[in-house]
Structure 1
């Protein structure tokens, strides 16, 4: 087939159906930091997160930003019985690397309904025990967790042994109850087209949302039993690290009834389901934790023919009991034809701004629980720029070109978990749909996807497959007060090209000189009434010996270890993984503060340069806030 003909087919496919990610690039080796003694910091006080004033808030009253990964698509497979890992030891290895290499402080932890309830009405406690043990590995590493009952294409049991595609989610008995016709997607080049074009998938999804055969009731009962099990088998301190629960991955109606729209489906079927799930959370002992609810998965598609009205517009005020939880993939970039070039500065400012606005209107926090791009295949060359632009949009709604001139419009820093963190990438042994003649080993071993940021090398060491400068990022993990603006120039690479989308402007010559060609982040916040410090995650590329901080609270090159009397200091992250954080302590309330953090110099900057940079930043902050 000619390239032109192939591209025309892709365009037609995109315009008539859902195009999903498929896709990974050569590995970039990285070595985990040597684990250190876990920090006894009183700032990691074991209190759960709550939602207040549209932000995640910890027990010290600080705004919390969750950053991390989905753990993991392995749950979709059968090779390890619907678990993210083959063993607790592998989970521990993955958690340590996720902290030390990936800079994460949170994971979306995938669960399988099929394995939690393999027989109708009977919860498999052995599966729940294994889930709990693997989840504990992340909690013990100081990583917050939010579980997700995952599904794609409703269930693998809809697909025959010779099918091109597969699914995950519902158990076999749930499919048997529906007596669905043989699945077929017709001429489908991408697995996501099954969502709207495979009649078996659309009918099964329809039945679930209408509670036909009692399917939804059964799921809710199993969800309650799962949540109760976690309460009973995690310690109070461990359970405090559980953020909330994502009830259902990427919900879609299947088919709409006559006269029904995507918006009325959300109002009449999806939102009542979330209210029922919320009631099960309360009954299981999760009263203080939010439900992380997803709208119709097409509500924010960036392809017009796919986009449907939604976003839980008729749910009213979500408040503290729910979090607006959504996904974002650039389907134009994935198509290979609808976005010819690569992503650039501010590429997704509008898309992620829409997420901020919808959460704000619902008076709740926002979470982007999935985002990513294929790392192999014909569109993988776009991955470095697409991912950089997505992280940029999580940090601020302003492009780099306008951030310094209009920082007050940055909006809140969004929490997000990248798809995905699968240490078995390229080393799977999955019998697709149980077919011993179709053993999948490459990529993520699921519908030709290849999006994992990591893999195991030949020595079984966890190794990054993406630029560490992109993944291990500076971000405000906990802000003592209210975040006013944040930006981070990671200077990640696209091949041999260093991407710089937010250079320090020439109007700040001393700040520019201090940053040089290094990475930098700048946080502006208004202090609150608590006593805990502001915390920023320090990437491994910010060793203490090469980190410079310029703040109204003080300046420091190679900042000292934190003490209660140190306004600018460093400390280990909780969990003993070797990762580190910067702590900034103010002693006031309602006062504006700023802090520039950079690794741009390898020699001690002069006192005059630090003073001059501080003066420039003070004048800039006074003029723009």
Structure 2
């Protein structure tokens, strides 16, 4: 495997060049569904809770990429949920692996799903919403990755060579790219059933299984779709029409399969993976309660350029250029579709300047986020060693001392308006003075207004305000107890706008 700095440099060079040049099979019988649990709704580019309040969620990714592909196997449990809640985190993107869900064609492992559901319930007990994520990287273990079942690897006998690890195999591994080609073509697998048909049926089974599970934010259809053999045509800032057409058809297939069994749970879809680095997306599925799951990674973070006197991270203009493109494309896509944006991956770095910058970008856009990743956990497909990406080194160990990366926590943990009874008008946070200001008008997304007494929730994490905080509010009054981790304000009679400022005591 190439050294990590060289791997990232290769990807940066590949992606920078064009910028400079400027009938489905019936699914197996699903598990017996319980009554649907309340789900968020999506309207006008926003995620809304069951009271119609605008949700902005901060959280982490937790994905177990090695057999048995279950986070609880790694020690992730109630103490981790409690730790996350204490930091002010309110969401987790929780990985499921297709290989574990459907080990044999049309046969689903409900014992595995029950393990995932137990973790979801533990998180819900601590006020944390879960995004269920069918996660993959490099498609399958044969290609030094994870994701697809063995029976879904159709590589037409091409060699799984060369083996250069993540992410380099995407660019050079013949068998990997042919396997993706066959997946996007919905090639017939076992029993003559198309691979995408199997995949959509698996999601329908999972959606049915989780209908009665509280705290589910939504589902994430497919992590970081890779275009396959023709990937070179997609390194285009304006987008990749041919592949994005295939990706949209696939996404619609999954959306329709899920909606056939679950009309309420939000479905988040992803653009092709090169969106992460500034390529526009043309993927626009249709349906209700759709969300746009996107990623942003600074390709020049942690390349060691500071050792030779070159700027890195937040101060690197190349990093900023890619980030600007990602956020501009995301804003355009959200505005054009009305689908809610969620930054489901960023980070995988110990460069806290990069983390602070990304958190600030998301806050300015009123977009929620999920940091990559909660733990290293022997991750086989990441751009840095586990300790580099990890917020917690070992979930099975006590959550104290060197097991926690305090520098990352300081970069990620900020106050934010988490549930707003109105239409947000923007938030700012000054890290130097620890002053947080947020505001909204009382108009409901979708029409009407909130009544007097409507409550909004603002996360004021103790790591930021260890000695307490002061609140100044206009148009609302504080109804939470002094020093509460979640500040609750109630709308005053006659108010048209609300403004809240939090400062250290």
1:96 corresponding residue in structure 2: 82
Preserved contact between residue 17 and residue 197 of structure 1 (Cα < 8 Å): no
What per-residue deviation string (whole Å, max 9, x for no partner) do you get for residues 458-485 of structure 1? 9623542133332322011011111111
Residue 167, structure 1, aligned to residue 162, structure 2: no
Secondary structure in 2 matching 1:570 = coil
**Cα distance change on mapping 1:7 and 1:94 into 2, 3 Å:** closer
CA contact (8 A) 1:345 1:389 kept: no
Shift of 1:119: 1.5
2:472 is matched with 550
Cα distance change on mapping 1:446 and 1:272 into 2, 3 Å: closer
Normalising by structure 2, we get a TM-score of 0.82
Counterpart for residue 593 of structure 1: 498
Aligned partner of 1:539 in structure 2 is 461
In the alignment, does 2:367 pair up with 1:392? no
Q: Contact 1:146–1:243 (CA<8 Å) still a contact in 2?
A: yes
- Are 2:428 and 1:487 aligned? yes
Contact 1:320 1:364 in 2 (8 A): no
Within a 5 Å distance, the mapping from 1:225-240 to structure 2 comes to: 225-231=205-211, 234-235=212-213, 238=214
Is residue 2:281 matched to residue 1:310?
yes
What is the CA–CA distance in structure 2 between the aligned matches of 1:275 and 1:385, rounded to whole Å? 38
After TM superposition, the structure 1 = structure 2 runs for residues 167-186 of structure 1, keeping only pairs within 5 Å, are: 167-175=145-153, 177-185=154-162
Q: Secondary structure at the match of 1:394?
A: helix
Match 1:466 to one of 398, 401, 406? 406
Q: Quote the Cα distance in structure 1 between the aligned partners of 2:380 and 2:244.
A: 36
Partner of 2:20: none
Provide the residue aligned with 1:142 in structure 2.
127
Q: 1:154 to 1:549 in 2, by over 3 A?
A: same
1:59 corresponding residue in structure 2: 50
- Within a 5 Å distance, the mapping from 1:289-308 to structure 2 comes to 289-302=265-278, 308=279
| 1:302-352 deviation line (CA, Å, top 9, x unaligned) | 5xxxxx44242xx27x57431121100001224444972341599556642
Aligned mates of 2:275, 2:412 — CA distance in 1: 27
Instruction: Quickly say closer, same or farther: Cα 1:542–1:340, change in 2 above 3 A.
Output: closer
Which consecutive residues of structure 1, in runs of 5 or more, have no partner in the other structure?
Answer: 20-45, 160-165, 303-307, 376-382, 397-411, 429-440, 492-499, 501-517, 555-566, 573-577, 602-625
The change in CA–CA distance for 1:212 and 1:522 in structure 2 (over 3 A counts) is same
Q: Does 1:220 align with 2:200?
A: yes
Contact 2:43 2:338 in 1 (8 A): no
CA contact (8 A) 2:473 2:501 kept: yes
Q: In the alignment, is the contact (CA less than 8 A) between 1:151 and 1:168 conserved in 2?
A: yes
The whole-number CA distance in structure 1 between the counterparts of 2:166 and 2:316 is 30
Residue 441 of structure 2: aligned partner? 526
- Indicate the structure (1 or 2) with the bigger Cα radius of gyration: 1
CA distance in 2, matches of 1:259, 1:533: 50
Q: CA separation in 2, counterparts of 1:8 and 1:227?
A: 40
CA contact (8 A) 2:475 2:497 kept: no
Structure-to-structure mapping, 1:353-368, within 5 angstroms: 353-368=328-343
> Are 1:263 and 2:240 counterparts?
yes
Q: 1:419 deviation in Å?
A: 0.5
Deviations 1:182-239 (A, max 9, x none): 21236x4x611211221111111111010112211111122211221222xx45xx1x
Query: Relative to 1, partners in 2 of residues 1:66 and 1:259: Cα closer, same or farther, differing over 3 Å?
Result: closer
The equivalent position to 1:84 in structure 2, one of 67, 71, 78, is 71
Q: State yes or no: 1:211 paired with 2:186.
A: yes
Do 1:527 and 1:588's aligned partners in 2 also have CA atoms closer than 8 Å?
no
2:373 to 414, 420, 427: 420
Which runs of 5 or more residues in structure 2 are unaligned?
A: 18-36, 189-193, 444-448
In structure 1, C-alpha distance between the alignment counterparts of 2:13 and 2:466, rounded to whole Å = 51
Matched position secondary structure for 1:59? coil
**Distance in 1 between the 2:8 and 2:471 partners?**
49
Evaluate the alpha carbon distance shift between residue 336 and residue 106 of structure 1 in structure 2; reply closer, same or farther with a 3 A threshold: same
How far does the alpha carbon of each residue in 1:270-301 deviate from its partner, in whole angstroms, 9 at most, with x for none? Answer: 1111111111111222x112210101111241
2:186·2:195 contact (CA, 8 Å) conserved in 1?
A: yes
> Judging changes above 3 Å, is the alpha-carbon distance between structure 1 residues 465 and 53 closer, same or farther for their aligned structure 2 residues?
same
Alpha-carbon distance in structure 1 between the residues aligned to 2:316 and 2:471 = 26
Q: For the residues of structure 2 that align with 1:269 and 1:590, how far apart are their CA atoms?
A: 49
Q: Which residue of 2 aligns with 1:371?
A: 346
> What's the CA shift string for 1:46-100, capped at 9, x where partnerless?
842101222111122211101101112xx2112xx0111217x742222111111
Aligned-pair Cα RMSD in Å: 3.2
Quote how far apart the aligned CAs of 1:588 are.
4.6
- Alignment partner of 1:272: what SS? helix
**Residue equivalent to 2:218:** 244
Contact 2:39 2:266 in 1 (8 A): no
* Partner residue, 2:390: 452
SS of 1:361 mapped into structure 2: helix
Residues 264 and 571 of structure 1: CA distance in aligned 2, closer, same or farther (over 3 Å)? farther
Give the Cα–Cα distance (whole angstroms) in 2 for the partners of residues 457 and 139 of structure 1.
18
Q: Equivalents in 1 of 2:82, 2:459: separation in Å?
A: 15
Residue 180 of structure 1: CA displacement? 3.4
Once residues 130 and 395 of structure 2 are traced to their aligned partners in structure 1, the CA distance between those partners, rounded to angstroms, is 26
Q: 1:459 to 1:153 in 2, by over 3 A?
A: closer
State the SS of the aligned residue for 1:85. helix
Distance in 1 of aligned mates of 2:396 and 2:170: 37
Q: State whether structure 2 residue 418 is matched by structure 1 residue 477.
A: yes
Secondary structure of 2:72 counterpart: coil
